[in-house]
């Protein structure tokens, strides 16, 4: 599974009172850890990989705005994945 999400957390110490953070995540079975390492390498080492033993999964996560802007977004702009959504439009 891969997804883009936005985390919104109330933080009283911030000027706006809120912390808004974009997140790109790929989560696979932990046996696919070598693939996640290859993906991380492909994306110039951006992000982190973590293992969840309870769910038997491994996740590759990028939450740095700089990395999302400079690495992830250019990739998805170059390789347009929106064609799938057009297949299901009515």
Structural domain boundaries in the chain: 2-87
Phi/psi at 22 (nearest 5 deg)?
Answer: -80, 145
pLDDT tens column, 40-74: 999 999 999 999 999 999 999 999 999 999 999 89
Residue 86, pLDDT > 60, answer no
Burial class (CB in 10 A: 0-12, 13-18, 19+), 36: buried
Residue 32, pLDDT > 60, answer yes
Measuring CA to CA, how many Å separate 39 from each of 7, 8, 21, 48, 88? Answer: 23, 26, 22, 11, 28
Residue range 2-87, CATH number: 3.10.28.10
Whether the CA torsion 47, 75, 44, 71 is positive or negative: it is negative
Mean pLDDT of 27-45: 96
Residue 77, pLDDT > 50, answer yes
∠ Cα 72 45 1 (to 5°): 55
pTM of the model: 0.79
């Amino acid at each position: 599974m891969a997804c883009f999400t936005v985390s919104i957390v109330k933080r009283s110490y911030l000027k706006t009172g809120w912390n808004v953070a974009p997140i790109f995540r790929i989560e696979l079975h932990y046996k696919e850890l070598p693939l996640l390492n290859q993906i991380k390498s492909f994306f110039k080492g951006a992000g982190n990989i973590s293992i969840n033993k309870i769910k038997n999964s491994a996740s590759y996560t990028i939450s740095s705005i700089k990395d999302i802007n400079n690495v992830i977004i250019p990739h998805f702009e170059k390789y347009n994945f929106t064609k799938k959504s057009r297949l299901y439009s009515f």
